Amino acid sequence: MRGSFKILYLGDIVGRPARKFLLERLPHIRETNGIDLVIANAENATSGAGINLKSLRELRSAQIDVLTLGDHALDRDFCTGADENRDLGNVCAPCNLENGPRCPDFVICESSGIKVGVCVVLGKHFMKLRASCPFKKFDEMLAKYGPSVDIFILEVHAEATSEKIACGWYGDGKAGLIVGTHTHVQTADECILPHGTAYITDLGMCGAHRSVIGRDISAVLESFVNGARCKLVIADEDLRLKGCIVDFDRATKRAIKISRFVHLD
Ligand SMILES: [Fe+2]
Ligand SMILES: [Fe+2]
């Protein structure tokens, strides 16, 4: 058995080009990096807005173990509908929305005998959806599920950098890993915090680097510069996968290393 337990956590997957790129590349990335578990945010997986069953199946085939959602979780009937046969077992929705999607708000995934639990909180600042306090919700989730997992992961899906950094300090020593998502731009502040929690403010995005956070540049410029209401189509040039790889000690289950991850052609 390898020395450390390795988790690859990928940022927001944007549209079909990113799904296709993951299908092509992720199995090999898993193998060559000795990854035990892959978690990815899939809130933009289907045409940039939410996720449907086809995308979910594709991403499972790409060997992603846990898929998280963010503020786009309510964009599609697939996540909000009442059909009990939707097979959303490994899809983790934000836990601090009052009328959130009908998906689990905590997902436990086991790999080589280590149980990893994942939950997502939405930030409260500059977000369209109204969420309850992410700090109090984190405490609640930790008290409820913390004892049943070896590694507790918190994803903070938020616009405000300050809110994500504050969540990092708040959760230091309580969660094994805290990652930020939503801005689609990877930050260079990955670290192990003083009480042992691995942390990064934003994982970045899986999608087209030649874009405006995954969307076609000219369409976004039309919208910003001329105020035109045009379709913000998904960009597909210069695809990259971004996130982080975190090594945990198999005995203590504590984070020992966090590295930014970037894969491109
Ligand atoms: Fe988002
Ligand atoms: Fe996103």
Could you report the per-residue pLDDT of 85-144, keeping only the tens digit for each? Answer: 567 789 999 999 987 777 899 999 999 999 999 999 999 999 988 999 999 999 999 999
Cβ-count burial of 93 within 10 angstroms (0-12 exposed, 13-18 middle, 19+ buried)? buried
pLDDT of 1 reads 47
pLDDT of 83 reads 58
Three-state secondary-structure class, residue 108: strand
Catalytic: 72?
A: yes
Asked if the model's pLDDT at residue 183 lies above 70, the reply is yes
pTM, 2 dp:
0.96
Closest CA to 253 of 175, 157, 189, 186: 175
User: Buried (b) or exposed (e) across 204-215, using 16+ Cβ within 10 A?
Assistant: bbbbbeebbbbb
Ion ligand 1: residue ranges with CB closer than 5 A? 70-71, 182
Ordered by start, the domain boundaries in the chain are 4-264
Domain 4-264 has CATH 3.30.365.10: no
pLDDT of 235-250, one tens digit each? 999 999 999 999 999 9
State mean pLDDT over 46-63: 93
**Which ligand gives the minimal distance to the CA of 14?**
2
- Expressed in angstroms and rounded, the spacing between residue 191 Cα and the centre of ligand 2 is 23
